[in-house]
Chain A
């Protein structure tokens, strides 16, 4: 017997309520005390010390341009002292039974969890990113990295079966300003688990959570010299990575600076991990679940105001759905909230610095000048602080600067394609190869693209996901080495 088809109602577009700014949200500020001291020294040999020069520099809150604290301006002499402290700590630390080393890392993970709210607020004030991100992502992920690597410390022999695994010695690490605490955890946790000692230089724009973490190192009673933190300008980082005691260089930052560092350590025989820039393609096929894809596109480029090396800054959308995707995207962006990073309802906070905001503005002008069409969500900029409204460029071609260069801001370039081959060709047409995104309902197509895209991380029907167990790192000029998982840990070990 034939089943009767259920009665069908003609499809109507879902009704949509747009209130504009009729009823504004009440402010919902996060009020936890960030416990910021008026000044911080360098953390060398387990103690806070002043820079040899006695100089200091300010860290400001990019959301309101107010001074947060001041920090010691470390220079070559301080770098040397820190490297010596690390080298002095190395013999004991590396010979400590792995289980004991691991317990220090477990302690750090727990201490960070205990003070998570405080760290989240401090990070938001120093960097400008929304409290929602620091609270739900940066700080918990940082703790997770310590927890994950803690468990490796007594299992290093399983990393390379049939071979001997040993620590390298003193590791010099320079990290960027976009995920200050998380990058610190990505760097320090595997280095210590493998038995190395560390000298780390945080970004000069965002040193706060690094020096706060030094307090945790003291609370954890980590042996003096195992981790040393030297704040200061970029030149101090260059001194650190070139220091003769440093046997391993781990750098996260731009490809441009990465190349300068590579040249500066040429011939020195140091082990290297370079996490450099990216210009990720986020590819949307016509059969993709478009609502989810739009959320993924938004998350891909506007997470952390787009100041992410793996940001999905090039949207490649199949021609047949391009108009619809762009329309949906614009509607979604109109309800993104840009403003006070400490407000729990804020989606996009402040850009890290005046300079970076001006760089982004420069790219907005360049995009328009080269003939692409700019659309920005309407927003009222706060009186002070560095803000950029979410921007979408359409009519972008591959030769445009906004489609080639890493912008590091909330700027999305939309390009279209017709065939799978064209999508792959366009996606791979860049010297970078850090990450890529694919949106489609077709499993075999996902696996094909996952194979053909030249990128270290491929997100299929998702974007910007990270985990301590999941190796992260690039192809081509996005760098080499991995962070996270067994792969990342091996990069901190000598295998013989």
Chain B
């Protein structure tokens, strides 16, 4: 008699722990062939608020880490993703990707983590600086993380999109509350398992699954989210902008794009890091 495989209950990774939605609501997840896979939690506004709290708690400690340390932790994520390349690719294939494309996406996601790992101790020298003011003052600008940033990942590519938006947010010391791809939440579930066994402190990245319609308004209005990095359509952008106005929240949109665009060099770099840092300028007189 063939052995009955043990199926997995997918759990979002929030505050360093695996949760089920407080609502108890789930939706059935089917793979590309229509086969039932599991019930994925539909996280609620309450889950989102809890995740923001976890992220806020983790924030100061993460921001205080040295840039070198944050870089090594991001690199460690890449190491672990590389090690689980086949598993992630299989998950993407199961939800409809062709094998070659799935491998390209996983490899690009790994390389993206390496890219941002390298930025950790370099962006400051490019974004900050000493300003030659016309007076006897030492004047310098440094960057600081904003705090908790909301990330709304694109529907596809489910893994590469999520990592491309999240890595530049956390590299500077922000913490992130991420809403995974609505049609394809499974890669984010897997990613949570990877994060849990990485050196990334709990609460730095919090991954929620659920529907955008449920959660988008709260992402927009939650006053403790200081920034939003989103792939969003026109109607969603309006909702996000309107809500963000209430707390003067910084919002950055990345256009929805095919995999080829996400794979490219233009999908990474310094700008996504800059968008979620604050520039702080300090003045001090020079003299006795």
Considering only residues 250-281 of chain B, those with a C-beta below 8 Å from chain A are: 250, 253, 266, 269-271, 274, 278-281
Partner of A477, one of B133, B139, B247: B247
Chain B residues, CB < 8 A from A457: 280-283
A163 touches B134 (CB 8 A): no
Over the window 286-323 of chain A, the binary record of Cβ atoms lying under 8 Å from chain B Cβ atoms (1 yes, 0 no) is 00000000000000000000000000000000000000
Distance (Å) between the CB of A313 and the closest chain B CB? 18
B137 touches A458 (CB 8 A): no
Given A163-B269, A262-B248, A263-B245, also A462-B131 (CB < 8 A): no
A54 interface contact, C-beta 8 A = no
CA distance A263 to B221 in the complex (A): 12
CA distance A490 to B270 in the complex (A): 13
Most B CB within 10 A of own CB, among A161, A263, A276, A470: A470
Considering only residues 203-255 of chain B, those with a C-beta below 8 Å from chain A are: 226, 234-235, 237-238, 241-242, 244-248, 250, 253
Given A262-B248, A462-B285, A477-B248, also A467-B270 (CB < 8 A): no
Distance (Å) between the CB of B202 and the closest chain A CB? 24
Given A255-B248, A259-B248, also A462-B141 (CB < 8 A): no
A470 touches B283 (CB 8 A): yes
B135 interface contact, C-beta 8 A = yes
Considering only residues 119-150 of chain B, those with a C-beta below 8 Å from chain A are: 126-127, 129, 131-135, 137, 139, 141, 146
A472 touches B246 (CB 8 A): no
A485 touches B131 (CB 8 A): yes
Partner of B139, one of A160, A163, A470: A470
Given A475-B278, A487-B141, also A459-B245 (CB < 8 A): no
Count how many chain B residues have C-beta atoms less than 8 Å from C-beta atoms of the other chain.
Answer: 39
A469 touches B132 (CB 8 A): yes
Chain A residues, CB < 8 A from B266: 496
B238 touches A470 (CB 8 A): no
Chain A residues, CB < 8 A from B8: none
Chain A residues, CB < 8 A from B3: none
A458 touches B279 (CB 8 A): no
A101 interface contact, C-beta 8 A = no
Interface of B is mostly: mixed
Chain A residues, CB < 8 A from B278: 456, 475
A266 touches B271 (CB 8 A): no
Chain A residues, CB < 8 A from B245: 259, 262-263, 266
Chain B residues, CB < 8 A from A460: 282-284
Chain B residues, CB < 8 A from A455: 280
Given A475-B278, A485-B141, also A276-B248 (CB < 8 A): yes
B134 touches A467 (CB 8 A): yes
Interface residues on chain A, size class: 35 or more
A476 touches B280 (CB 8 A): no
Given A276-B248, A462-B137, A480-B250, also A160-B270 (CB < 8 A): yes
Chain B residues, CB < 8 A from A478: 248
Considering only residues 161-203 of chain A, those with a C-beta below 8 Å from chain B are: 161-163
A486 interface contact, C-beta 8 A = yes
Partner of B234, one of A160, A267, A482: A267
A479 touches B271 (CB 8 A): no
CA distance A46 to B211 in the complex (A): 52
Distance (Å) between the CB of A266 and the closest chain B CB? 3
Closest to B226 in A: A476
Partner of B131, one of A262, A263, A469: A469
Over the window 234-277 of chain A, the binary record of Cβ atoms lying under 8 Å from chain B Cβ atoms (1 yes, 0 no) is 00000000000000000000010011001101111100001010
Q: Which residues of A contact B (CB under 8 A)?
A: 144, 160-163, 255, 258-259, 262-263, 265-269, 274, 276, 431, 446, 450, 455-462, 465, 467, 469-473, 475-480, 482, 485-487, 490, 495-496
A-B contact pairs, 26 of them (CB 8 A): A163-B270, A258-B248, A259-B246, A262-B241, A262-B244, A263-B245, A266-B237, A267-B235, A274-B248, A446-B284, A450-B280, A457-B282, A458-B283, A459-B282, A460-B283, A462-B285, A465-B135, A469-B134, A470-B133, A470-B281, A470-B283, A472-B281, A482-B279, A485-B141, A486-B129, A487-B127
Starting from the known contacts A263-B245, A477-B247, A490-B274, 19 additional A-B residue pairs (CB-CB under 8 Å) come to: A162-B269, A163-B269, A163-B271, A259-B245, A262-B248, A266-B245, A267-B242, A446-B284, A460-B283, A462-B285, A465-B133, A470-B283, A471-B281, A473-B279, A475-B278, A475-B280, A476-B248, A486-B129, A487-B141
Task: State the 9 A-B residue pairs at the shortest beta-carbon distance, nearest first.
Answer: A267-B238, A262-B245, A266-B241, A467-B133, A469-B131, A266-B242, A460-B284, A477-B248, A458-B282
Q: Which residues of B contact A (CB under 8 A)?
A: 126-127, 129, 131-135, 137, 139, 141, 146, 226, 234-235, 237-238, 241-242, 244-248, 250, 253, 266, 269-271, 274, 278-285
